[in-house]
Amino acid sequence: MNIDKSKLVLVHNANDLIKDLPLETKEIGYYRDSWNRFKKNKASFVAFIIICIIMVFIVFGPLLKPYKLPDEDPNAARRFRYLEPKIPFLEKFGIFDGKREVTAGKRFLHHMYHSEFGKGIILSGFPEELINNVDHPAYAGITEITVVVDSYKFANYVESYMPITYFSSDGGGSLDSVLEQLDQKQFEEYLAKNYIIDVYSITELPNPEDPSAPFYQYKVR
């Protein structure tokens, strides 16, 4: 860009004396100036207040409401221990949807899939062949399968109905550890706590001290 130099003139004459004007405001330091600028930005200031409130809840919230569930209700604490977070709105996007992967014996999964108490638990990963036939030859050498389940329904199932170790991994029958022998007092306690799923047998045993009042032994699951 070409400009005629004759048209360029100085703003001041050569004899003019230019001086810096003294500051009319009080001098402040760097941090004070940063804080003043920060306060002028209303969005940043509001966000800062919100963060401070959240930090207060994080630090003092647990102290205001101690976690006593394991002491007050061990069964509920055990049930909630492995539950995945589930938020109704966010679950539509595939996050915080309450799902988790579970590796279990194919016989257990087959029984759970067809049980009236197991509806809707297995969400994906269980082969169609095993759904129709747990002894399908294509899976003869496989004892365990990894599936995606609804962690809430799954926790209710294994805690209230059938533990995950109910079937032996070699394809045999039920595990002996699931069955228990109870006397009358234990049976009544288990019954009151709703621990018993099935009563397999009731055996009458003689009472040497009082033959008219025999003992009873209960085999339960």
102 exposure class (CB count in 10 Å sphere: 0-12, 13-18, 19+)? buried
Q: What are phi and psi of 174, to 5 degrees?
A: -75, 150
pLDDT for residue 139: 93
| Per-chain mean pLDDT for the chain | 83
Q: What is the pTM of this model?
A: 0.54
Q: What are phi and psi of 178, to 5 degrees?
A: -75, -30
Q: Each residue of 16-44: b (16+ CB within 10 Å) or e?
A: eeeeeeeeeeeeeeeeeeeeeeeeeeeee
Predicted confidence (pLDDT) per residue in 124-151, tens digit: 999 999 999 999 999 988 999 999 999 9
Q: Which residues of the chain have pLDDT under 70?
A: 14, 23-24, 168-179
pLDDT for residue 51: 95
Q: Number of C-alpha atoms within 13 angstroms, CB side, residue 155?
A: 16
pLDDT for residue 176: 47
Domain residue limits, the chain: 78-175, 179-220
